Amino acid sequence: MLVVATVLIGLNLRGPIVGIPPLIDEISADLGLTATTAGLITSLPLVCFAVGSPFVALLARRFGLERTLLVALLLLGAAIALRPWDGLAPLLTGTVVVGAAITVGNVLVPVLVRRDGGRHVKSIMAASTSSYGVGGALAAAVAVPMAAQIGWRGATASLAVLVAVALVVWLVHMRSRRTRARAQPPVPRGTPPAPAAGTGPASSSAHRPSAWTQASAWWLAAFFGLQATLFYSVSAWLPPLLVQSASTSAATGGTAVSLFHLLGIAGTLAVPAMIRWFTDARRVGVVIAIGWLVLLVGVLVLPHLWLPWVLVGGIAQGAGIGLGLTLVAERPVDADYGRSVSAMVQGAGYALAALGPIVIGWAHSATDSWVVPLTILVGLAIGLGVSGLRAGEDRPIGGPAHG
């Protein structure tokens, strides 16, 4: 049930965002949007990720992980279903709510897997994170054909169906968890309550320094943020880059970015095996950075041979998000402290990622060339490898040795 629940939640953590860009021209024509406003629709969720992530740990601590995720799913489904129907203001407001609800899932799913996954944390995280790519690819693939049949409003609102399925399964999971808790034998009077695995007075986050002061957490935030920056920058700019540098058609550029997303599923699923093969998450981080360099240097030097570069880069981007979230789930000293680490890493990481497409677009406009933007991205990929050497350490974040 844990695997099914986390996979279904994961299906809804990218689709409501990725499903909008294929329809943005139709939405803009219908609502009379400027290019800036149209861009705002796709960038608002990233801003929500950056701003909202630090507050999710506080909500989970106050209301509990299960109830916080439940409310987030309810808000996500309602916002997706209602936002397209009444002009620009509801569309923007609904998009903010979508971004906020997805932020809760981003932060708490790794914590949930760490708490309940036992020996299978890596495998469950791989399955859950790969569903991000499945949901995104599905939303992007059906957006245009569905809009041709029922209009862009119906097409975007229909994504609420997947949220409803996840909500039902999550309610079943919550009920099952409560039933198991009631089935536990009563504790004799006078016996101190046994702490849950990975928690208790010796490891309580209440007695630990803030995750924002931990150097290990900042290295993990750097790795997470750099991979997210590369992902969103390439997702936004790969099609026009190929059109201009390789003289491809716009349709071919769209095919390239679709392949880039779909191959990420394989990369995410490969993370547990990669960690076993290389015996060290730090080496996996360096290999992922090399994959990004193959894509970026390839399209810079030989853009006409874009297919092999996109194949390698797609796998690298999926492995990057998979490794980042696996480390967020595994490295905190316990699941309770993991809420703070996950919120900090994703808040700082997505703040960096939100700037990436903007900076790359500005560099391209300022130079009327893709050389400078790609050089910037190459530098970020090198930084990804360097941060991976520290983010992938075995030492627990929040543990007694240097945080």
| pLDDT at 128 (0 to 100) | 84
Q: Range with the lowest mean pLDDT among 45-54, 195-204, 243-252, 277-286?
A: 195-204
Nearest to 138 by CA among 239, 18, 250: 18
- Whether the per-residue pLDDT at 93 is higher than 70: the answer is yes
The reported pTM is: 0.77
Kindly report the average pLDDT of the chain as a whole number.
84
* DSSP conformation class of 202: T
Say whether 332 sits in a helix, a strand or coil.
Answer: strand
**Residue 259: pLDDT band with limits 50, 70, 90:** confident
- Whether the per-residue pLDDT at 286 is higher than 60: the answer is yes
Write down the residue that tokens 């009920």 correspond to: 175
Per-residue tokens: 346: 């994703």
| pLDDT at 54 (0 to 100) | 83
pLDDT (tens digit, 9 = 90+) per residue, 161-193? 999 999 999 999 888 877 776 766 655 555 444
Question: Cβ neighbours of residue 8 under 8 Å, at least 6 residues apart?
Answer: 131, 162, 165, 166, 169, 170
Which burial class, exposed, middle or buried, applies to 276 when counting CB atoms under 10 A from its CB (0-12, 13-18, 19+)?
A: exposed
The CA-atom distances, in angstroms, between 342 and each of 79, 206, 306, 349 are: 25, 16, 35, 10
| pLDDT at 207 (0 to 100) | 66
Hey, where are the domains in the chain?
A: 1-180, 211-403
Domains 1-180 and 211-403 share a fold: yes
Per-residue tokens: 110: 């790794």
| pLDDT at 22 (0 to 100) | 72
pLDDT (tens digit, 9 = 90+) per residue, 192-247? 444 444 444 444 445 677 888 889 999 999 999 999 999 988 887 888 888 888 88
Q: Which residues pair with 332 in a beta bridge?
A: 397
**Residue 136: pLDDT band with limits 50, 70, 90:** confident
| pLDDT at 104 (0 to 100) | 92
User: In the predicted model, what is the mean pLDDT of residues 313-336?
Assistant: 88
Per-residue tokens: 401: 């040795």
Domain 211-403, architecture per CATH: Up-down Bundle (1.20)
| pLDDT at 232 (0 to 100) | 84
Domain 1-180, architecture per CATH: Up-down Bundle (1.20)
**Residue 143: pLDDT band with limits 50, 70, 90:** confident
| pLDDT at 206 (0 to 100) | 52
Question: Cβ neighbours of residue 19 under 8 Å, at least 6 residues apart?
Answer: 136, 139, 140, 142, 143, 155, 156, 159
220, amino acid identity: L
Asked whether the beta carbons of 156 and 95 are under 8 A apart, the reply is no
| pLDDT at 25 (0 to 100) | 75
Q: What share of the chain is helix, strand, coil (3-state, %, to 5)?
A: 85, 0, 15
- Going through 61-192 in order, the beta strands assigned E by DSSP cover none
- Whether the per-residue pLDDT at 278 is higher than 50: the answer is yes
* DSSP conformation class of 397: B
The CA-atom distances, in angstroms, between 290 and each of 54, 89, 185, 229, 257 are: 31, 43, 53, 16, 19
- Whether the per-residue pLDDT at 38 is higher than 80: the answer is no
| pLDDT at 256 (0 to 100) | 82
Nearest to 250 by CA among 15, 5, 25, 6: 25
